[in-house]
Amino acid sequence: MSTNAAPLVELRDLQKSFGGIKAVDHVNIDLKAGEVVGVLGHNGAGKSVLMKMLSGALQRDGGDIYINGEKAVINNPRDARRYNIETIYQTLALADNLDASSNLFLGREMVSATGLLDDNAMEAETRKIMHRLNPNFRRFHTPVSGLSGGQRQSVAIARAVYFNAKILIMDEPTAALGPHETQMVADLIQELKRSGIGIFLIDHDVHQVKNLCDRANVMKNGQLVGTVEVDKVSSDDLLGMIIAGKNPPSAIPGPGALA
């Protein structure tokens, strides 16, 4: 990867307030292709709000987003999709009453020549992508409300991967999963990373972040505490940043937080 190319994503000076509360306060974060960047912090630190501005679910009050060095216009989820930004929300954003393929193609259905939905073609595509991501998955005709947490997660991830996500935002992807399924998702993240996708990983779990991320950004009270390369800090350093807002010596100075 050439080092002088513009980063995949540059979040610059992003701001968002709800009433008098500054949920995100002048935050700068970067993401490169093939990189997993963690966004950490307590509940209410502003992680999800920050990511929702990138995914178009929330409109920002100020600041700019650059994709591949160019200023991006993202005002709603449809805009974000045009930049190949896909989001896996903590709630998974699945319609529980629909089956896997209806959810995978929701908003981007395949239609036949008659203009009617081509459910068979969508199911065939779903079977292909699910075979790659979760070979044990068999329940293609069950509403996703009947699936296990890991199965639901794999449907949500398949949705992002199928549509050629270049930028993937994962909001606590393993929070509701058991150890076996957590490992499955971790393997999946490694595979996506190898294929050159840039991933923002929102997480509480410091060990998870140490395992999966290249760099980590810590937020507290809506502000960016600092950015670190996870190899160069200990779990305790990260906890110190989250709890006390105290940067270790190796923290990368902003703005942009890229070395």
Partner 1 sequence: MTDTSTTASAPAKPRNIIASLELDTRLLGMIGAFIVICLVFNILTGGLLDGRFLTPRNIFNLTIQTASVAIMATGMVFIIVTRHIDLSVGSLLATCSAMMAMTQTVVTPEWLGLGLNHPATAPIAIGVGVLTGVLIGAFHGWIVGYLGVPAFIVTLGGLLVWRNVAWYLTTGQTIGPLDHNFTLFGGIDGTLGPTLSWGFGLIAVALAFYAMWRGRANKGAHEFPVKPLWAEAVLGALVAIAILGFVAILNAYEIPGPRLERLFEARGEVMPEGYTSGYGIPYSVLLLIAVAVVMTVVAQRTRLGRYIFATGGNPDAAELSGINTRLLTVKVFAIMGALCGLAGLVASARLSFHSNDIGTLDELRVIAAAVIGGTALSGGLGTIYGAILGALIMQSLQSGMAMVGVDAPFQNIVVGAVLVVAVLIDIIYRKRTGAKV
Residues that bind partner 1 (CB under 8 A): 55, 57, 76-78, 81, 87, 89, 91-98, 102-103, 106-109, 111, 115-117, 119-121, 123-124, 134, 136-139, 143, 145-146, 148-151, 176-178, 180-181, 184
C-beta closer to partner 1: residue 76 or 190:
76
Asked if 96 contacts 152 with a C-beta cutoff of 8 angstroms, the reply is no
* In the complex, minimum distance from the CB of residue 48 to partner 1, in angstroms, rounded to a whole number: 13
C-beta closer to partner 1: residue 76 or 211:
76
H-helix or E-strand spanning residue 215: strand 215-220
Distance CA 238, CA 256 (A): 19
* In the complex, minimum distance from the CB of residue 105 to partner 1, in angstroms, rounded to a whole number: 9
C-beta closer to partner 1: residue 34 or 149:
149
C-beta closer to partner 1: residue 25 or 79:
79
Torsion of CA 108, 202, 227, 254, to 10 degrees: 40
* In the complex, minimum distance from the CB of residue 169 to partner 1, in angstroms, rounded to a whole number: 11
C-beta closer to partner 1: residue 59 or 148:
148
* In the complex, minimum distance from the CB of residue 73 to partner 1, in angstroms, rounded to a whole number: 15
b/e per residue 133-159 (b: at least 16 CB within 10 A):
bbeebebeeebbeebeebbbbbbbbbb
DSSP helix/strand/coil, 130: helix
* In the complex, minimum distance from the CB of residue 126 to partner 1, in angstroms, rounded to a whole number: 11
* In the complex, minimum distance from the CB of residue 203 to partner 1, in angstroms, rounded to a whole number: 18
C-beta closer to partner 1: residue 93 or 258:
93
Distance CA 78, CA 109 (A): 14
**Strand order through the sheet with 167-171:** 85-88, 167-171, 198-203, 36-40, 215-220, 223-229
* In the complex, minimum distance from the CB of residue 89 to partner 1, in angstroms, rounded to a whole number: 7
Q: Which amino acid is at 231?
A: D
Among 155, 108, 146, residue whose Cα is nearest residue 127: 155
CB count within 10 Å of CB 112 equals 11
C-beta closer to partner 1: residue 148 or 250:
148
Q: Which amino acid is at 190?
A: Q
